[in-house]
């Protein structure tokens, strides 16, 4: 499934909707992520904060978890397109940890819109570490 087949507007709406369900009482910075999987599913995630800040889960963590939790048994599903948005709809780039999570879930074929621009993952995470390194 190529990047051009993604409905980017629908992914953006799904990301903003997911952000509305975020649990962000400490930062008041709700974030939602929506992704198109290679099996055609649209999966979403939102950030979930914790009083112990280090335990906070980013929206992309929820997205990758939903990708795997909703998949049929067999080969791991792959993300093809991802959009990340704040609760007010503004773009937000994933943190470094989440860029690595997205790389593992989509690799170099994944296209990310986290800043209002669609970029292939090698531009977002140059020199990425992945399973091929092990």
The residues near 84 (Cβ < 8 Å, ≥ 6 apart) are 15, 31, 32, 33, 59, 60, 91, 92, 93, 94, 112, 113, 114
Tokens (6 digits) for 59: 């929206």
Q: Are strands 111-113 and 79-86 parallel, antiparallel or unpaired?
A: parallel
Per annotation, catalytic residue among 60, 104, 123, 133: 60
pLDDT at 2: 45
∠ CA 84-86-88, rounded to 5°: 135
Distances (CA, A) of 120 to 24, 29, 55, 126: 29, 26, 29, 10
Tens of pLDDT along 7-28?
Answer: 999 999 999 999 999 999 999 9
pLDDT at 3: 46
In DSSP terms, 32 is beta-bridged to 46, 85
Average pLDDT over residues 39-45: 97
Task: Say which CATH topology domain 3-125 has.
Answer: Cytidine Deaminase; domain 2 (3.40.140)
pTM of the full structure: 0.94
Tens of pLDDT along 69-101?
Answer: 999 999 999 999 999 999 999 999 999 999 999
pLDDT at 4: 55
The residues spanned by each domain of the chain are 3-125
The reply to whether 60 belongs to the active site is yes
Mean pLDDT score across all residues of the chain = 95
């Amino acid at each position: 499934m190529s990047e051009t087949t993604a409905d980017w507007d629908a992914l953006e709406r799904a990301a903003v909707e997911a952000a509305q369900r975020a649990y962000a009482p400490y930062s008041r910075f709700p974030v939602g992520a929506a992704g198109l999987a290679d099996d055609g599913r649209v999966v979403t995630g939102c950030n979930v904060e914790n009083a112990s800040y280090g335990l906070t889960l980013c929206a992309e963590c929820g997205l990758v978890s939903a990708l795997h939790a909703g998949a049929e048994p067999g080969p791991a599903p792959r993300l093809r397109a991802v959009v990340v948005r704040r609760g007010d709809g503004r773009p937000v780039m994933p943190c470094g940890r989440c860029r690595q999570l997205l790389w593992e879930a989509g690799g170099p074929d994944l296209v990310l819109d986290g800043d209002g621009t669609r970029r292939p993952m090698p531009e977002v995470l140059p020199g990425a570490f992945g399973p091929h390194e092990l």
